[in-house]
Structure 1
């Protein structure tokens, strides 16, 4: 079984979509083995998204991710990374396929409802950023 990090971002949380997103996660056969509701500080958001430091959108990303509560989760499934990315859809909701979370719940490129790890190495860092081993069931 593979693990990936998933985040319900502040825009989707504020709009009341966390329940709908969680329902889809379970419907698609993921196991949620860790989950926390957090309010990230700008420093925590910067640490999590450090790979984007220096890019033009970095400050907006930090500000957005620290603008309100989010839900961070560790999902487990066969091929969890690809499976979650497929369920999320394209980064820009305008380009996302019908039936994907970003198409349904995202409103713009910068407010696209959910985050997911893009590779096993990224997933290992991201899961470890928010969860200790004993947090995962």
Structure 2
């Protein structure tokens, strides 16, 4: 099934000059970029993205740190489209916690902080990217970061092989 998903390159991914490498990994797997922009998040938009559900699951402290983290600098928002795109994008990104991410994934290759270290030092886990967790989340998150007229449908050579 053709799906859409959201990936955010977080401020550490931008400041470490990894945007091109991250985009390349999705495109190499036949995932189409249908929306792309660099922006500076604000607390209001970040609070919608990291909603009350995050607070219920992980606590207010973690939610506040996530909001702070995504507001540290510019981010790059990617709206992606492809076959089983939500799951494929998450596999490309790797485990949320970099020290648990497999080599060959974005986080496994470029991030290094563990959640234990982050929690002990009251830091954010710098994990470079966010990827929507499921199809419903993807639909909601794309609407947070993109207007409908910022998403583009087009044909790519890969489509004729699918």
TM-score range, shorter chain: over 0.9
Q: Which structure 1 segments of 5+ residues have no match? A: none
Q: Is the 2:45–2:144 Cα contact (8 Å) retained in structure 1?
A: no
Quote how far apart the aligned CAs of 1:53 are: 3.0
Task: Please give the residue correspondences for 1:110-129 in structure 2 after superposition, counting only pairs within 5 Å.
Answer: 110-129=125-144
Aligned Cα RMSD in Å? 1.2
1:62-81 CA-partner distances (Å, limit 9, x unpaired): 11100000101111110000
Equivalenced residues, count: 137
Match of 2:42 in 1: 41
For normalisation by structure 2, the TM-score amounts to: 0.81
What's 2:93 paired with? 88
- Report the equivalent of 1:132: 147
Q: Deviations over 1:34-92 (max 9, x none)?
A: 01101111222111111313513111111110000010111111000000011111111
> Which portions of structure 1, spanning 4 or more consecutive aligned residues, are displaced by more than 6 angstroms?
none
**Structure 1 partner of 2:63:** 58
Give me the TM-score of the superposition, normalised by structure 1. 0.95
Rg comparison, structure with higher value: 2
The 5 Å alignment of 1:96-111 reads 96-108=101-113, 109=115, 110-111=125-126
Unaligned runs of 5+ in 2: 116-124, 153-162
Counterpart secondary structure, 2:112: coil
**CA displacement at 1:25 relative to structure 2:** 1.4
Q: CA deviation at 1:28?
A: 1.5
Contact 1:10–1:69 under 8 Å retained in 2: yes
Contact 1:45 1:62 in 2 (8 A): yes
CA distance in 1, matches of 2:136, 2:54: 16
Decide whether the 8 Å contact of 1:45 with 1:66 is kept in 2: yes
